[in-house]
Amino acid sequence: MSAFEELMAFQRQTEALAQVAGRLGWDQETVMPEGSAAQRAEEIGALEGVLHARRTDPRIAGWLEAAQAPDAVGEAQLRLIRRSYARTMKVPAKLAEEIAATMSLAQGVWAECRSREDVAGFLPTLRKVVDLKRAEGAALAAGGDPYDALVDDYEPGMTGAAIAAMFDAMRPRLVALREKVLGAEAPKGVVGVFPQEAQLALSRELATVFGYDWSRGRIDLAVHPFSSGSGHDVRITTRVNETDPFNCFYSTIHEVGHAAYEQGIDAGYALTPIGQGVSMGVHESQSRSYENQLGRSSAFTGWLFGRMREVFGDFGIADADAFYKAVNRVHPGYIRTEADEVHYNLHVMMRFDLERALIRGELQVEDLEAAWNDRFRADFGVAVDRPSNGMLQDVHWSCGLFGYFPTYTLGNVYAGCLVKALRADIPGLDGQMERGDVSAATGWLRERVQRHGGLYEPRDVVRRACGFEPSEGPLLDYLEAKFGAIYGV
């Protein structure tokens, strides 16, 4: 075999092992016995040690030096292998193993402390997580900004400064829109009891409508919904609140957006570096466009209203227009994942500032709860009533996912651009969605974005799909037009 072929064969085994590691994580969050946490942490740590050894294998340097890519796809493969190799070589193996094992245990500690509203019980674990991620960031940054180094893991090429500039540009228009909307009369919300099994049945139907391939996936329940896997095994989770069916339905649609991206990648790229989503920002653009611009549109909610009436009977909403307004009701709630489109990015901006300060050492773990509560009151005008509605609500920090949060808003920005472009290309889209058919939109996204996997750099994927440079403008225009119309402001 040529050097390129040898490298790709070696890489395929590494990618397969990484998928196994991901499956262990899925199992831990869904069906693992409660008493298995310590053993699972050891298993994940051991597997991470194997993966780190493979990713730093000295043969990779020789292969990369000698390899000649046969085509543009091969060049992309080499680009990502070089990036991964250079990055992994900076992190000591012992640190990588300790991070993997600690994060596995930390998730269970977080879940237990969240259920007890016990910040003090979580702080020692969080302190260890932050210390480890600071060490990793410092190793990766090699004298640069450690937070930038962590962000680069989720959104290659992005920096904290660039994110801060984007957020500064967005915040005034978001705050102005929020003030106008909250000053207007709020529409009626959905009230009632919606049984779990009926919700799950309808959520499966919604997953099918949005193109989820059940032959390569499944849906389970989790505290924090997520999507896991790629290629021929892509699993999703959702959650159920019997008084809030939208939590289940839109969590499902959101995770299907992630899963459809992985299922939509060119099958020939499977178990290679480009055989997965190119970045978390682009990934989030799929889930947020599925969930919001498509799933919460007046056209699609008209269809969903009819299905909910068939499944649940009369639930106190008079017509499709009132239902559309209920689905898009704006309120300053505590929970990011349940936030409306107006407030959502403000939640992300707050977390970005806090975690950036944590990694830089400008904020200490012991002061995080007070900093969170003060910032939340300042940004949302509401006092945090309990930790599960405050700093314990998200799983991300217990998993060590520092640098991940800003990609949620970056995904919204990309989604604004993509849906602007797809609506220009599909003028009859609303008529189709009124019948519960979103295939034209999801097909457009599959063709323009999903099938490419990691073939192009993140911003290049969006630019090529849209025909223009991505910016926050289309998202802000969309939000102002949508909620201005709903609230008459």
Is residue 135 domain-shared with residue 212, that is, in the same domain? no
Residues 138 and 258 in one domain: no
Give me 224's structure tokens.
Answer: 């924090």
- Does 219 map to a domain? yes
Q: How many domains does the chain have?
A: 2
- Say whether both 119 and 238 belong to one domain: no
Report CA 228 to chain centroid distance, whole Å.
Answer: 11
Residue 166 and residue 109 in one domain: no
The model carries a pTM of: 0.95
Q: CB under 8 Å to 26, separation ≥6 — which residues?
A: 228, 229, 235
What does the pLDDT read at residue 437? 98
Q: Which of 84, 118, 144 is the last residue of a domain?
A: 144
Question: Residue 277: helix, strand or coil by DSSP?
Answer: coil
Is 200 inside a domain boundary?
yes
Distance between CA atoms of residues 298 and 320, nearest Å: 8
Look up residue 325 and give its two tokens. 């307004």
CA atoms within 13 A on the CB side of 207: 29
Residue 223's pLDDT is what? 82
Letter for the amino acid at 186? A
Cα 270 to the center of its chain, rounded Å: 21
| 182 and 92 assigned to the same domain | no
What amino acid is encoded at 155 in this protein? E
Domain assignment present for residue 10? The answer is yes
> How far is 245 from 248, CA to CA, in rounded Å?
5
- Contact (Cβ atoms closer than 8 angstroms) between residue 281 and residue 158: yes
SS (H, E, C) 303-367: HHHHHHHHHHCCCCCCCHHHHHHHHCCCCCCCCHHHCCHHHHHHHHHHHHHHHHHHHHCCCCHHH
Tell me: do 53 and 164 sit in the same domain.
no
- Which pLDDT score, from 0 to 100, does residue 106 have? 95
For residues 86 and 152, the answer to whether their CB atoms sit within 8 Å is no
In this structure, are 165 and 222 located in the same domain? Answer: yes
Verify that 58 and 169 share a domain, yes or no: no
Residue 295 domain-assigned? yes
Which tokens in the block code for residue 96? Answer: 């990588």
Residues 6+ apart with CB under 8 A from 310: none
Name the nearest CA neighbour of 152 among 227, 85, 87: 87
Phi, psi of 233 (to 5 degrees): -150, 90
As to burial, measured by CB atoms within 10 angstroms (0-12 exposed, 13-18 middle, 19+ buried), residue 234 is buried
Beginning with the edge strand found earlier in the chain, give each strand of the sheet holding 219-221 in spatial order.
219-221, 233-238, 227-230
Say how far apart CA 474 and CA 418 lie, in whole Å.
9
Q: What is the pLDDT of residue 289?
A: 98
Residue 149 lies in a domain: no
**344: Cβ–Cβ under 8 A, 6 or more apart, which residues?**
336, 408, 409, 412
Looking at the structure, do residues 188 and 99 belong to the same domain, yes or no?
Answer: no
Radius of gyration of the chain (CA): 22
Task: Give domain status of residue 152, yes or no.
Answer: no
For residue 176 the two structure tokens come to 């102005």
Is 179 in the active site? no
pLDDT in tens, the chain (489 residues): 999 999 999 999 999 999 999 999 999 999 999 899 999 999 999 999 999 999 999 999 999 999 999 999 999 999 999 999 999 999 999 999 999 999 989 989 999 999 999 999 999 999 999 999 999 999 999 999 999 999 999 999 999 999 999 999 999 999 999 999 999 999 999 999 999 999 999 999 999 999 999 999 999 998 889 999 999 999 999 999 999 999 999 999 999 999 999 999 999 999 999 999 999 999 999 999 999 999 999 999 999 999 999 999 999 999 999 999 999 999 989 999 889 999 999 999 999 999 999 999 999 999 999 999 999 999 999 999 999 999 999 999 999 999 999 999 999 999 999 999 999 999 999 999 999 999 999 999 999 999 999 999 999 999 999 999 999 999 999 999 999 999 999
Can you give the pLDDT at residue 3? 98
* Residue 238 · residue 223 · CB < 8 Å: no
Strand partners, 227: 236
74 and 194, same domain (yes or no) = no
Q: How far apart are CA 446 and CA 453, in angstroms?
A: 10
- Give dist(CA 419, CA 475) in Å, integer: 9
Q: Which residues contact 58 (CB under 8 A, 6 or more apart)?
A: none
CA–CA gap between residue 89 and residue 334 (Å, rounded) = 40
Q: Which two tokens stand for residue 2?
A: 């040529």
Instruction: Give domain status of residue 153, yes or no.
Output: no
- Active site residue: 48, 97, 255, 355, which one? 255
Among candidate residues 144, 178, 199, the one where a domain is terminated? 144
Question: Rounded CA gap, 354 and 372, in Å?
Answer: 8
Same domain, 375 and 273: yes
Q: Which domain holds residue 325?
A: 160-487
**Residue 54: its H or E element:** helix 37-55
DSSP E strand stretches across 172-303: 219-221, 227-230, 233-238
* Co-location of 77 and 167 in the same domain: no
Select from 94, 118, 144 the last residue of a domain.
144
Q: What CATH number should be reported for the domain holding residue 300? A: 1.10.1370.30
In a domain, 129, yes or no: yes
